[in-house]
A and B are shown apart, each in its own frame.
Chain A
Amino acid sequence: MSLSLLLEDTGNRLMKVNIVVFGRLKDRFGGRSSLEITMVDPAKLRQAIRAVEAGGEPLGADVAVAVNGRIVRGDADLQDGDEVLLLPPVSGG
């Protein structure tokens, strides 16, 4: 699955971000655990989330977001090749 988020034709270069989902969020993507989105550089985490939510329900406040393995609160700058992790409530044990 691949989504393109072209905000405006600024002539800026494109960058790819890998979205990885876990648990119940995989059902939302038809059982897939990752999808790649193409964004205009520079891009923000909030824009990537908006692209994932497009056409569906908002992710919900109980979903934590991490970039390259680190939990991020609020917005952040994304770089080409970043991995955005969407982490629903955890249920280990």
Chain B
Amino acid sequence: MVALSDAPIDVAAVLGSVRDDACGAIASFTGVVRGDEEAGDRVAALEYEAHPGMAVAAMRKIGEEVAGPESMRCAIHHRTGRVAVGEVSVVVAVAAPHRAEALEACRIAVDRLKATVPIWKKVLFTSGRTAWAEGTPLA
């Protein structure tokens, strides 16, 4: 239910992977690379790197924590490598019997993903300049 890959993410497939007859709600978050402009320089892409073993373990832990009850399911797919503006960098999907717990669990999973998974991104600008993104210290 978790994946870290340098291949494009199939959003529909991730949503489909959490489908369950006991679940009437699937909440999802899709992160897309934003074409920000900074002092006349435009973002061209983000480049993600990860510690694969620790990142997959951290994503699994998030899934187990937010979809604790047996009736809920969680999937998290994150890109590595170069991801261009407009491309999907991450998808989180949570299925639950009802919408309230699906939406809440999805929000918590995204927050934890950003704070606890060993993934780093470098911003690649059209000028050729690069900059490491600010991050959250691992607690």
Contact = CB atoms under 8 A, between A and B. Distances in A.
Chains A and B bind each other = yes
A89 B48 contact: no
Interface in B84-118: 89-90, 110, 113-118
B51 A87 contact: yes
A92 B78 contact: yes
B138 A22 contact: no
A22 B50 CA distance: 8
A90 B135 contact: yes
A24 B138 contact: no
Nearest to B130: A27
B106 to A, nearest CB: 13
Contacts of B113: 92-93
A63 B137 CA distance: 7
Q: Is the interface of A mostly helix, strand, loop or mixed?
A: loop
Contact of B120 (A20, A69, A71, A90): A90
Given A69-B53, A90-B119, A93-B113, A24 B137 contact: no
A92 B137 contact: no
A18 B119 CA distance: 20
Interface in B33-63: 48-51, 53-55, 57
A92 B132 contact: no
A22 B118 contact: yes
B132 A90 contact: no
B54 A66 contact: yes
Contacts of B54: 66, 69, 85
A85 B51 contact: yes
A62 interface: yes
B48 A92 contact: yes
A90 B115 contact: yes
Interface of B: 31, 48-51, 53-55, 57, 78, 89-90, 110, 113-122, 132-138
30 contacts: A23-B49, A23-B120, A23-B135, A62-B137, A64-B137, A66-B54, A69-B51, A69-B53, A85-B51, A87-B51, A89-B134, A89-B136, A90-B114, A90-B115, A90-B116, A90-B117, A90-B119, A90-B120, A91-B114, A91-B132, A91-B135, A92-B50, A92-B55, A92-B78, A92-B90, A93-B31, A93-B89, A93-B90, A93-B110, A93-B119
